[in-house]
Amino acid sequence: MVIHGGMGVYSDRASRYGRNYHHGGGGPGYDLGATVYAKTPLGRVSIAVFVNSSSGPRAEDREASLLARLLG
């Protein structure tokens, strides 16, 4: 995994779905993530996830699940 970051935005060139740019965070009761995948078989894909962190999966896990359904 090759990750570079600055100003809270991270770039991962070794992602399963290709290069992406990500920002995530959270606080009491919530977790969030927003990612742009520059080049996928469907073109550019952006995904944002905002979840209640007191129950259910983390935003990162939910994003991975949604991407697997979308991109296979």
pLDDT value for 70: 92
pLDDT value for 13: 85
pTM metric for this prediction? 0.80
Phi, psi (degrees; rounded to nearest 5) at 64:
-60, -40
pLDDT band at 2 (very low <50, low <70, confident <90, very high): low
| Burial track 36-69 (b if 16+ CB lie within 10 A, e otherwise) | bbeeeeeeebebebebeeeeeebbbebbbeebee
Q: Express each pLDDT in 8-49 by its tens digit.
A: 888 888 888 889 999 998 889 999 999 999 999 999 999 999
